[in-house]
Amino acid sequence: MAVNLPSLLFGLGIAYIIFIFLRNQLEKLRRPLPPGPKGLPLVGNLRDLPKPGEFEAHHWLKHKEKYGRISSVSVLRQSIIIVNDAELARELLERRSAKYSSRPKQIFITEIVGWGKLLGMSPYNKRFRIMRKTLSPVIGSNAALAQFSDLQAAQVGHFLLHTLRDSENFLGHIRKAVGEFILKITYGYTAEPHRDDVLITMNGKAAEQFGSAAVPGAFMVDLFPFLRKVPDWVPGTGWKKTARQWSAELKAVADIPYQFVRRQVAQGRHETSFMSRLIEAGGSDPETAGVVATFYLAMTIYPEAQERGQEEIDRIIGKDRLPTLADRENLPYIDAIVKETFRWNPLVPMGLPHESTEDDVCEGYSIPKGSMVFANIWHFTHDPDVYAEPEAFKPERFLAGDGREPEPSPHRFVFGFGRRICPGRLLADNSLFLFVAQSLAVFRMSKGSEADGTEAEVKPRFQARVLSPPLPFNSIVKPRSRHHEILINSLEDIYPWQESDAKELTDIARLD
């Protein structure tokens, strides 16, 4: 019988491919998860998760000494992968981003409260890609951001004025100024100039709730989804009342400004805004405000860095005007302060979790589909093998000199990775530069006093949450001289206060 050689070779080829596929699948089954603590039956490593109030990045960094640069825990069959090495994080989350660009389903925050509709918590799907693509021409380049430069200058100018007249509340003025800017570019909305604004307050409250809800496992329904169906009268279901309240408040944060814009358009009074694109990105006011507060904390603790920055501004810019974004390339030390502020306290220390959408193998370990993957960003920016004296605030680390190469910019870590990198990173960077440069130009920050008149102890202490802005600290903010006080007051003519739209928002809320 004659043998059909081409058919035989084709059949052997198919058989070989099937063999290789099955062998790889069996190898994946045999490969262990990355190393980690031994779990208990049924619940796994539930007891090995960070305790409430514990700084998560410090907790997970202990894994590096015990288990190496990648480790894991499992909670109720949910695999959680911890990456404690910057290059390995970039390998997984950037070079293999096709497998690691989604977000895990956290039932409480994404489905029940509703944060899953926003870009930052959305799964990686067609809707996500469309939103990212739509944002790019608005905030994706420095050329695009030029349209916001006047508004950013007004934002910081109003902050300087408020702080001059009420310096004890400078942290509140930071939050107000950043919120004012975001609302203006997002909705064309003018915030209350001299008192608390209803929408800024609502946004701040929603951000606080996000920080509490975004911790994986913070609510038992994330671990036991069937709890959604348990009646409200059953003991231990108080979280349902919290969920309903937070969901209603989050809905109001989106709906009331949306109705405001519709009313403005109908009345022919609508200002150019980017609501449809920026609102789905989730804004950036809590993050930017937290980073600016970090800068003020650093200047209070490290007066030598403050004085060097002021010397550079006085020498390059002079004392008769404020620095602008156009001056940045001529102010290398101020630019270094901006980088060091991002490095010293990365505001999202563990980032937001990525989800693996395919089975994968890393360093011989299995990463199953559906795993949560966390990158320890705080460690990446405090690795002593990369940054000398990482706990110290030293802007000069980013400047070359005396045969020393600059240390790596933290921008490659602090805004996230791959297809999940923060779309508003350039906007946040520009805002921080203006706050840093103009604050140093006119203010002196120093430690406050205790009740007995002794100098207050100010330490770098940060919130142990998903977002980690500084805890309240005792700092005195005063103008550097009478000349600088006059310069600040002159800003009122350059950036006059505008009548607020808050009353109209109140009317809309009443109608709803």
What does the pLDDT average to over 102-115? Answer: 92
Mean pLDDT of 293-314: 98
CA distance 475 to 477: 6
Mean pLDDT of 300-319: 98
Looking at per-residue pLDDT, the higher value among 337 and 20 belongs to 337
Going along 249-390, which residue ranges are E strands?
354-355, 360-362, 365-367, 372-375
Q: Is the dihedral of CA 233, 238, 239, 242 positive or negative?
A: positive
With cut-offs at 50, 70 and 90, classify the pLDDT of residue 105: confident
The β-bridge partners of 78 are 75
Tell me the two tokens of residue 201.
């307050």
Average confidence (pLDDT) over 123-133: 89
Q: What percent of the chain has pLDDT over 70?
A: 90
pLDDT band, very low/low/confident/very high, at 18 (cuts 50, 70, 90): low
The pLDDT, as a whole number, for residue 96 is: 98
Listed in sequence order, the residues at least 6 apart from 342 whose beta carbon sits closer than 8 Å to its beta carbon are: 291, 381, 410, 411, 414, 432
Range from 20-29, 113-122, 185-194, 366-375 carrying the lowest mean pLDDT: 20-29
434-448, pLDDT tens digit by residue? 999 999 999 999 999
Whether residue 458 is predicted with pLDDT greater than 80 in this model: the reply is yes
Name which of 3, 10, 25, 6 is nearest 369 in CA terms.
25
Instruction: Give pLDDT tens digits for 54-91.
Output: 999 999 999 999 999 999 999 988 999 999 999 999 99
Query: Which band of pLDDT confidence, cut at 50, 70 and 90, is reported for residue 222?
Result: confident
Residue 116's contacts (CB-CB under 8 Å, 6 or more residues apart) are 103, 109, 110, 122, 123
What is the mean predicted confidence (pLDDT) over 18-40? 72
User: In the structure, what pLDDT confidence band is assigned to residue 112 with cuts at 50, 70 and 90?
Assistant: very high
What is the rounded CA–CA span in Å between residue 400 and residue 379? 23
- Given a cut of 80, whether residue 12 has pLDDT beyond it is no
Per-residue confidence (pLDDT) for residue 142, from 0 to 100: 87
Average pLDDT, the chain: 89
The reported pLDDT for the residue numbered 9 is 44
Of 28-42, 277-291, 467-481, the least confident: 277-291
The whole-number pLDDT of residue 13 equals: 53
Tell me the pLDDT tens digit for each residue of 156-203: 999 999 999 999 999 999 999 999 998 888 888 999 999 999 899 998
CATH superfamily for 31-511 is: Cytochrome P450 (1.10.630.10)
Q: What is the pLDDT of residue 273?
A: 62
Secondary structure of residue 81 in the 3-state scheme: strand
422 is in an annotated binding site: yes
pLDDT at 137: 84
CA-based nearest residue to 158, from 130, 119, 194 = 194
Query: What percent of the chain has a predicted confidence (pLDDT) above 90?
Result: 66
Confidence of residue 268 (pLDDT cuts 50, 70, 90): confident
- Pick the more confident residue, 280 or 84: 84
**pLDDT attached to residue 38:** 95
Alpha-carbon dihedral sign for residues 163, 334, 345, 411: positive
Confidence band of 493 (pLDDT split at 50, 70, 90): very high
How confident is the model over 373-392, as pLDDT tens digits? 999 999 999 999 999 999 99
Q: Which of the residue ranges 22-31, 80-89, 290-299, 459-468 would you say has the lowest mean pLDDT? A: 22-31
- Contact status, residue 163 vs residue 445, Cβ threshold 8 Å: no
